[in-house]
Structure 1
Amino acid sequence: MAVKDFMTKKVIYVSPDTTVSAAADLMREHHIHRLPVIESDKLVGLVTEGTIAEASPSKATSLSIYEMNYLLNKTKVGQIMIKQVITVSKLASLEDAVDLMLRHSIGVLPVVDNDVISGIITDKDVFKAFLAVSGYGEDGVRVRLITDDTVGVLEKIVHLISEENLNISNTVNIPRQDGKVIIEVQIDGEFDIDQLKQKFVQNGFNVDGITRTSSKN
């Protein structure tokens, strides 16, 4: 899974000369929490709700609302933006992007190659990718099997399903510490789930669950 397959390609951004007030308005308008700062087609920084909050006068200040708004309209994004921005390549794996987010405790990565931004990937994009990979929200049947993590086990599962002329849309493998593996298979269509369950049991599989799923669209 590559970053380019899941990133948000339409990037809403500001320039270093954008006022803090205008950047905050843009975030509210688009329901986002951070904005890349671009100058001459190159990424030069990142402004977030947090950096704007730090730049805003404290509620305990003696300044009037007019004075506070005046300051925010005079302060430029370039004065408060994060300049050392952690980025990721569009060719990197999604797993690499998630690892970067976790290690640096951040929820967004601008996607940059040769100093040019082509997208942005956020924690929400990662959540959507997980749902897509797991087959969530699809009509069909999900089978959860617990089996030995041995060579050929997935091939055997696929063979048993194909014998019933059924199509697999997604598979997820989850290793366990006891040497076993959980294999979840999403299968398209309407069919007798009890019959399929019995077939797996007869072939030595532990069927931990088999349920019908429905579209979430």
Structure 2
Amino acid sequence: MNVKNYMTSTVVTVSEDLKVLEALDIMKEHDFHRLPVIRNEKMVGLITEEIIQENSPSTATSLSIHEMNYLLTKTTVGDIMRKQVITIKAEDLLETAAALMLENNVGVLPVVENKDNVIGIITDKDLFRAFIDVMGYNNKGSRIVIDIAKDHSGILEDITTILAEDQVSINQIAVYRQNENTQVVIQMDSANTDEIKEILATEGYTVSSATFKEGK
């Protein structure tokens, strides 16, 4: 899947000269935590709740609440925004977005075209939602986990063939490999988890988990 499939296309942006308190009000109004900063329709930075917090006077200082508020009303988004912003394109894979967020320790990527025209935004929550969709977690049906003692080529073909011969329809399938451990996770329509476990056990496969979910 591509970034465009899960990004938010309606993007709220702000200008550099907007006061920080006004930016916070916009975030609160729209339930956002980050806002791209635009100049002449081009992105020049990013402002987030975290950045604002880092640049706000500490409650441990000798400043009064009035003085703190005064400073915040005078501080503009352009004064504290992050200018070096990691971006991504709408046609890029979701895996690329996840890798960029992880490598750069960020939770959001503005989606751009022509280098700095913002056309969307994608967050770590969007990636979580995509993962849940890909795995079919909210779908009605059975979910089985097969532990593979010794991984080898052709194993997925073998498992899917076994299930197909018994008229079991597969909706999603994923393989997890960590160190020497391999698990195959399959989401399917059938509610007969015991029957599926027996079918696979007969063919020498170990099912470590088999659950059925009604779905949303």
TM-score (ref. length: structure 1): 0.89
CA contact (8 A) 1:161 1:167 kept: yes
SS, match of residue 139 in structure 2: coil
Percent identity between matched residues is 46
> What stretches of structure 1 of length at least 5 have no aligned partner?
none
Which of 169, 172, 178 matches 1:170?
172
Which deviates more from structure 2 when the two are superposed, residues 17-26 or residues 158-167? Answer: 158-167
Deviation at 1:77, TM superposition (A): 1.0
Equivalent residue number for residue 185 of structure 2: 184
**Given residue 131 of structure 1, which amino acid in structure 2 is its aligned partner?**
I
Cα distance per residue 1:26-77 (max 9 Å; x no partner):
1122232211112222111001112212333333455554444343233221
In 2: Cα distance, 1:7 partner to 1:189 partner? 32
Going from structure 1 to structure 2, the CA distance change for 1:146 and 1:60 (only over 3 Å counts) comes to closer
Residue 150 of structure 1 aligns to a residue whose secondary structure is coil
Decide which moves more: 204-213 or 145-154: 145-154
Equivalent residue, structure 2, for 1:135: 136
Do the aligned residues in 2 keep the contact of 1:20 with 1:75 (CA within 8 Å)? yes
Where 1:72 maps in the other structure, the secondary structure is: helix
- Partners of 1:45 and 1:138 in 2: how far apart? 39
Partner of 2:5: 5
Q: Distance in 2 between matches of 1:55 and 1:197?
A: 57
Offset at 1:183?
0.5
Q: Which runs of 5+ in 2 are unaligned?
A: none
Shifted more, 68-77 versus 95-104: the winner is: 68-77
Matches within 5 A, 1:115-134: 115-134=116-135
Residues in 1 aligned to 2:139 and 2:36: alpha-carbon distance in whole angstroms: 34
- Displacement of 1:131 in angstroms is 0.9
Indicate the larger mover: 64-73 or 85-94: 64-73
For residue 195 of structure 1, report the CA deviation from its aligned partner.
Answer: 1.8
Distance 2:65 2:201 in 1: 71
**How far apart in 1 are the matches of 2:127 and 2:6?**
8
The alignment status of 1:42 with 2:35, answered yes or no, reads: no
> CA offsets, 1:102-153, max 9 Å, x none?
2221111111121211211111111111111111111100111122332221
Matches of 2:204 and 2:58 in 1, distance apart? 66
RMSD: 1.9
Contact 1:139-1:189 at 8 Å conserved across structures: no
| TM-score of the superposed pair, with normalisation by structure 2 | 0.89
Q: Is the 8 A contact 1:88 1:109 kept in 2?
A: yes
The one-letter code matched in structure 1 to 2:128 is F
**Match of residue 87 from structure 1:** 87
Note the C-alpha offset of 1:161: 1.8
